[in-house]
Amino acid sequence: MENIRQTVKRVWGYDTLLPLQEEAMRAVLARRDSIVILPTGGGKSLCFQAPAAAMGTLTVVVSPLIALMKDQVDGLTTAGVPAAFLNSSLTSDERRLVEDNVVRGRYHLLYVAPERLVLPPCLGLLRRAGVACFAIDEAHCISQWGHDFRPEYRQLRVVREVFPDVAIHAFTATATPRVRADIATELGLREPEILVGSFDRPNLVYRVRRRTDRLRQVTEALERHRGAAGIIYCIRRAEVDQLADALRRLSYRAVAYHAGLADAERRRAQDDFITERADVMVATVAFGMGIDRSDVRYVIHAGMPKSIEHYQQEAGRAGRDGLPSECLLLYSGGDFGLWRSILMAEGLPAPGAMQKLGEMYDYCQGAACRHRFLVEYFGQASRADTCGACDVCLGEIAVEDGSAAMARQILAAVTEMGERFGAGYVADVLCGAKTARIAEMRHDRLDAYGVLRQYSKATVRSWIEQLEGQECLARGEGEYPTLDVTARGHRVLRGESAVPLLRTVARSVRQAPSRAARPAVPPSLGQMSDEDLFEMLRVLRRTMAAERGIPPYLIFSDASLREMARERPTAKDAFLQIKGVGLRKLQELGPRFLACIRAHKDGSAAGTSPVP
Ligand code: ADP
Ligand code: ZN
């Protein structure tokens, strides 16, 4: 048998393995049960696909998502690994063909939906065919403590009963010990090797901003990623429709996705996004599971998610290919209130739901490194004090100097005004505004009048909101949303407790790294920049994907195209050195990519069409 690294190089074109991949593969080859916990983009698939390709026997993969199975199988087939799937999307003829091939030992990997796998005919088929091992993808679906419990996963316990001697390998991105224990018990694992990777995603830049003007803030971010793919999450369906419309009016290629749309519309939106006819997916959290597009360059939350777990999952869809990507979260105190009322309306909210909401809000309001916050939230130690990849460490936000004094001034103003006014009016008074109402109420004679006049009203309002968020102020129950000082607020007033107030530093966000990667010296006239060549290669990728009826990211990843644009190989052996180019892809896809690179290498701008 070829050694596993040779297989990885030959089939997938990778010279190196990602953290823990080697250990995970060794467990598979040793036929020892295992639980592998790696973050999204950690390269879980390769952990069972490479051993399957190396051994050449049948690995059965259980996966909950029918759409994903087809993509995975298409990806494997394109790389030259015989694979197939069995699920309800097949006609009975197609299914029989696959079953025949299974018995004949034609496949190295077979993807099966859990509810089908546990049926006696399927178990019988696999017994006859002989199975080398089982890989259970998204294994957290087996646990009620995970975020995506699926009852059909519970039935997987028969696998161990029917195949007592076949090793079972579980893969998930959910790290909690409780979920892990459930996986081991439910699958009947025997002394599994447990491999837990780091949950930090160093290629993601995290930013949090108070939402002031949603459309402007969103388009500013989109401009950092022109033409690249991204997802914008909204809390409510109506916001999805509005924002997608607004973006389309501004000529962005945006589509909308939420559970209120007809199936066909949803499918079209998803299809447009996957095949690169659309760049921007505006969606509720209903969108995402089952999307394997690895070149998502940004995920924007237009509203705050209800837990860090949700945030991590959704934001984690950015940058699966390991290239720099941005996660921007826009929030307001209103989001917190909205979620609270949604959770209350559910009657009895799930245990811990309110606490998780509070933790999410803490994240938004925090002034500590975002990477560190997230990593520590998930129970891991963080490596460095500053990450260089979040708004805090990049110096984009700052704790206001003297913020304890300002918090007291705001709270004192609310008290002085008898707790009978709303945030906007209080801010006017603090800023010393000259309005008719203030004159009429004679509030220009208050001690509080104008004490914060050196700050803009927007800044003062944001501080009032932050004080609400930190439960120093609360909105009254009455008809008008007047502000009251809470018990905590009184402690701050007495100087017994302090709260930090944050302000976004007026300094523009650094350009996205992909743009910054342009050469400092402009290319000489007629010579094509890496960026332009990359765009040409993307067009070619799209064309070849359409010809094959598969998503573009299965042809080559962005990471591979970037390397091609940089290295500009013109011969086969040089092309094979590109990360992500295996032998099959060299043969099948290489010639046209090489021709495209050759045609544009010397900037012989002749023929700007990428298709020779
Ligand atoms: P996960 O399922 O853990 O989210 P995937 O299996 O989808 O991750 O892999 C994420 C990305 O990383 C894919 O684009 C994959 O091609 C790439 N990848 C996997 N292993 C390697 C490797 N050893 N070297 C480079 N890229 C890799
Ligand atoms: Zn940081």
Whether residue 43 has its Cβ less than 6 Å from ligand 1: yes
User: Bridge partners of 86?
Assistant: 112
**What is the third-level CATH fold of 403-504?**
Arc Repressor Mutant, subunit A (1.10.10)
pLDDT in tens, 60-108: 999 988 878 999 999 999 999 999 999 999 999 999 999 999 999 999 9
User: How far is the centre of ligand 1, averaged over its atoms, from the C-alpha of 304 (Å)?
Assistant: 28
Whole-number Å distance, alpha carbon 17 to ligand 1 midpoint, is 9
* CATH 1.10.150.80 segments of the chain: 525-606
- The proportion of the chain whose per-residue pLDDT surpasses 70, expressed as a percent, equals 93
Q: Are 453 and 432 in contact (CB under 8 A)?
A: yes
Dist. CA 255–CA 307, nearest whole Å = 25
Ligand nearest to the CA of 296: 1
Q: Which CATH architecture has domain 204-396?
A: 3-Layer(aba) Sandwich (3.40)
**pTM of the shown model:** 0.82
Tell me which of 258-262, 335-339, 365-369 is least confident: 365-369
Considering 209-218, 249-258, 334-343, 519-528, the range whose residues carry the highest mean pLDDT is: 249-258
pLDDT of residue 512: 46
Instruction: For residues 568 and 185, give the distance between their C-alpha atoms in angstroms, rounded to a whole number.
Output: 51
Delimiting residues of CATH 1.10.10.10 domain(s) in the chain = 403-504
200 C-alpha to ligand 2 centroid (Å): 11
Q: Is 78 in the pocket of ligand 1 (CB under 6 A)?
A: no
Interval between CA 435 and ligand 1 midpoint (Å): 59
Ligand 1 neighbour 87 (Cβ under 6 A): no
Ligand 1 atom index nearest CA of 292 = 7
**Residues of CATH 3.40.50.300 domain(s) within the chain?**
2-196, 204-396
Q: Ligand 1 in contact with 321 (CB < 6 A)?
A: yes
Q: Mind listing the pLDDT tens digit for each residue in 458-494?
A: 888 888 888 887 789 988 766 778 899 999 999 999 9
- Ligand 1 geometric centre to CA of 43 (Å): 3
**Which residue has the CA at smallest separation from atom 5 of ligand 1?**
43
CA angle 412, 418, 419 (to 5 degrees): 80
**Which homologous superfamily is 2-196 in?**
P-loop containing nucleotide triphosphate hydrolases (3.40.50.300)
Whether CATH 3.30.70.3460 fits 525-606: no
**Does residue 312 surpass a pLDDT of 50?**
yes
- Of 118, 89, 85, nearest in space to 102 by CA: 85
Please tell me the predicted confidence (pLDDT) of residue 612. Answer: 43
Order of strands, edge to edge, in the sheet holding 109-112?
83-86, 109-112, 59-62, 133-136, 167-172, 34-37, 193-196
On the question of pLDDT at 516 being above 60, the answer is no
What pLDDT score was predicted for residue 290? 67
Q: Of 584, 580, 583, nearest to 561 (Cα)? A: 580
Strand ranges, E, within 434-510:
473-475, 483-485, 502-504
Tell me, using a 6 A CB cutoff, whether residue 421 lines ligand 1: no
Nearest CA owner, ligand 1 atom 27: 43
CA-proximal residue: ligand 1, atom 13 (nearest): 321
